[in-house]
Amino acid sequence: MIPLLTRYGAKLAAVLVLALGAVIAVNAVTDDPSELDARHPSQAAAEQQAEAEAAYEEVRYLHVNYIEETAGADVATKVAALSDFAADRAESLNSAQEDADQAAEDAAAAAEEAANSGRTNVDIPGSCSDYSGNKATGCALAQEHGFDLEQVGCLVALWNRESGWNELAANGIGAYGIPQALPGSKMESEGSDWETNPVTQIEWGLGYIEGRYGTPCEAWNHSEDVGWY
């Protein structure tokens, strides 16, 4: 009987190790980094240690109960009690693993979205103080592309005509956004957030102007001549 109980004890120890591993894995995957950053590292470590110890105590308590409740029982009773205990632990571990897997998938999706999105913040130089909102952003980005303030003036006039600098502007034939890309989905080459991010739209529009007309003023002159660019 002793060798048999020893094997049961080994199985129980394995379950204990898996339970503690699941707790640590769930903590590692599902903790919100912003919350951890907001706390002192030693506090976060202490809380994780406390959670691990609590999980250990739960498993140890059930193990002790198993020993006490089956003391003097026959082998079949001991086996049944141990099987119930192992089944409960396995169910908990499966649930924890599912939560961890889902959290990992969500984190990967969020990381991919962030990697494919355009920038959202642009430093506005003092030279763009005559403009505000999307126009100020366009002024800053145009200068990043090497255009001077004269070219910025042409760009402002061009996109005033096209969209009023409204990143949600759409017309009946499918043109969209500040530069009125046709179709709007062309701007996806600049970022997956092309439907709502003015920076992504402006960057795409400047690239289009550079490639087709060379400068915003040339694009504006073409628009003046034929009504579009």
pLDDT tens digits, one per residue of 55-99: 656 655 555 565 555 666 666 676 676 677 677 767 767 777 777
Domain total of the chain: 2
Same domain, 78 and 146: no
Question: 69 or 159: which carries more pLDDT confidence?
Answer: 159
Domain range spanning residue 30? 2-116
Distance CA 169, CA 175 (A): 8
Same domain, 65 and 93: yes
Same domain, 168 and 195: yes
Same domain, 6 and 103: yes
Residue 14 in this model has a pLDDT that exceeds 70? no
> Residue 166, exposed/middle/buried by CB under 10 A (0-12, 13-18, 19+)?
middle
Lookup: tokens for 29: 């995957």
Cβ neighbours of residue 196 closer than 8 Å, sequence gap 6 or more:
167, 168
Place of tokens 């991919």: 112
Same domain, 132 and 111: no
**Pick from 126, 168, 137, 142: which is nearest to 220 by CA?**
142
Residue 181, classed as helix, strand or coil, is: strand
Same domain, 81 and 136: no
- Which helix (DSSP H) or strand (DSSP E) does residue 141 occupy? helix 133-144
**Per-residue confidence at 53, pLDDT binned at 50, 70, 90?**
low
Same domain, 61 and 99: yes
pTM of this prediction? 0.55
Residue 29 in this model has a pLDDT that exceeds 60? no
pLDDT value of residue 207 = 98
Q: Does 121 reside within a domain? A: no
pLDDT value of residue 45 = 61
Distance CA 229, CA 159 (A): 10
Place of tokens 């769930």: 26
Same domain, 132 and 92: no
pLDDT value of residue 34 = 46
